[in-house]
Amino acid sequence: MATQAAAFPRNGGLRHWWRVVRVGYWLGWQIESNWTDPLLFFIYSIARPLGGVLILVFMYHVVARAGGTAMLGFFVVGAACWPFVVRGMMGTAYSLISDREHWKTLRYVYISPISLRAYLVGRALAQATSAVAAAAVTLVFGRWVLGVPMHLATINAPYTAAAFALGIAAVIALGLLVVSAAFLISSEAWRMPEGVGAALYLVCGAIFPVTVLPPILQALSRAIPLTWWLEAMRRGLLGPAVVRSLPHLADGQVLMGLALLTVLWVTAALAVFTLAERRARQLGILDRETMY
């Protein structure tokens, strides 16, 4: 009995929560990576982001305007960071949807003595991990092939690390919000995360400064933590020689804004998730399969 209690720490405790995150992470990583050999998985991981950054590079070169490498740096950091959003945010939603519709395991996960939220956070972190190789290769490619001014001496490591951690938290919060919507919708569930991702790609300054957007979209973009995260990552990695999405703000203000928005979005995500889960259960649609 005592052994069993040690193996399964008290439900709701931090240790239990962390254990569920770890198991969710392990499971997510297996699903994500074991469909092929490591080399093909690595190629698969880097091909899309690298393809994305090269599209931007060629677009830049066909226009061939002045602006030096500042714009290239903007593209490279944006393209390096975006896989975390794709994998982390969209991946969290797909974890729930595929558990529900494809693997048909959601009901079993749900009735097990674990926190569904912790399980999904673990799955999201596994997805985000699969973006690390893509980000690293994109940054190395940008630095050594494209000549983006990104030097160890000028990188503000503590600033970048803080921004990165906050950004991942924001991505997971967004993932939980999308999951909350996925609880309540059926046939569009597979396409909805992609839709959210496409909208964020447009308004968050992933590949162009948000200053070129119409004013109403600029206001919207400033309410989303990803805009601040991408801006902070660019400032941390590229220093002052960077095209800015939030030109009127100092570096510290950007980080503070990111922290504030992340706290707000995490709080909102937790509340919305709880409400959506409760509502789906009340309606009896928590494990409704709609694939056809």
**Nearest distance from C-beta of residue 84 to another protein, angstroms:** 16
- Residue 54 binds to another protein (criterion: CB under 8 A): yes
User: x/- string (CB under 8 A) for another protein, residues 149-188?
Assistant: --------------------------------------xx
Cβ neighbourhood burial of 232 (10 Å; 0-12, 13-18, 19+): buried
For 19, residues 6+ apart whose C-beta sits below 8 A from its C-beta are 9
- Give the C-alpha separation, 138 to 146, whole Å: 10
Residue nearer to another protein on the CB measure, 82 or 265:
82
Dist CA 252 CA 225 (whole Å): 15
Cβ-count burial 174-192 (b if 16+ within 10 Å, e if not): bbbbbbbbbbbeeeebbeb
Q: Using the rule CB under 8 A, which residue among 8, 11, 18, 51 binds another protein?
A: 51
What are the DSSP calls for 237-272, one per residue?
A: HHTTSS--SSTTS-HHHHHHHHHHHHHHHHHHHHHH
Of the pair 18, 58, the CB lying nearest another protein is at 58
Among 62, 111, 152, 153, binds another protein (CB under 8 A): 62
CB atoms within 10 A of CB 155: 13
**Minimum separation from the CB atom of position 14 to another protein (A):** 34
Which residues within the stretch 190-249 sit at the binding site for another protein (CB under 8 A)?
A: 191, 194-195, 198-199, 201-202, 206-209, 212-213, 243
Contact between 48 and another protein per CB under 8 A: yes
Which residues of the shown chain bind another protein in the complex (CB under 8 A)? 35-36, 44, 47-52, 54-56, 58-63, 65, 67, 71, 102-103, 187-188, 191, 194-195, 198-199, 201-202, 206-209, 212-213, 243, 291-292
